[in-house]
């Protein structure tokens, strides 16, 4: 499910203001809930794979200091949204949260490169 944006209004780069994260052996930019990867002048859509580093698991006992227990993740919750497998996670204190059944699942660490 890789498609490209042809109507991208700006060039991602070190100074574009978007968060960049390490994905396998390259850097992706976080843009409005999408992971954008520059490839030969095109912008590809990426999602983090479900793997050992970023498992898609339920962790009902995850005690997180990253946000209040009553916090509800959503489009304007203040956390960056990151596509992971077939769902959307939220970036909290350097790791992925998936809102699930009244708690947050811990889906592993991501490396912010700036």
Q: At 91, is the secondary structure helix, strand, or coil? A: strand
Alpha carbons 81 and 7: distance in angstroms, whole number: 21
Place of tokens 């995850």: 62
**Near Zn ion in 70-109, by CB under 5 A:** 73, 77, 79, 84, 89-90, 97-98, 100, 104-105, 107
What is the number of alpha carbons within 13 Å of residue 26 lying toward its C-beta?
Answer: 11
Could you tell me the smallest distance in angstroms from the CB atom of residue 23 to Zn ion? 3
Residue from 18, 19, 38, 55 touching Zn ion (CB under 5 A): that is 18
Q: Does position 23 bind Zn ion by CB under 5 A?
A: yes
CA-wise closest residue to 95 among 75, 14, 104, 85: 104
Q: What letter would DSSP give residue 87?
A: E
Q: Does position 34 bind Zn ion by CB under 5 A?
A: no
Instruction: Give the footprint of Zn ion on this chain (CB under 5 A).
Output: 12, 16, 18, 23, 28-29, 37, 46, 58, 64, 66, 73, 77, 79, 84, 89-90, 97-98, 100, 104-105, 107
């Amino acid at each position: 499910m890789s498609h490209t944006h042809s109507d991208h209004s700006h060039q991602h780069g070190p100074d574009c203001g978007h968060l960049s994260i390490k994905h396998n052996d390259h850097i992706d930019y976080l843009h409005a809930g999408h992971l954008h990867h520059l490839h030969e002048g095109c912008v590809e859509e990426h999602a983090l794979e479900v793997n050992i580093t970023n498992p898609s698991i339920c962790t009902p006992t995850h005690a997180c200091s990253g946000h209040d227990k009553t916090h509800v993740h959503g489009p304007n919750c203040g956390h960056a949204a990151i596509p992971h497998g077939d769902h959307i996670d939220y970036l909290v204190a350097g790791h992925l949260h998936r809102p699930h059944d009244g708690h947050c699942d811990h889906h592993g660490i991501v490396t912010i490169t700036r």
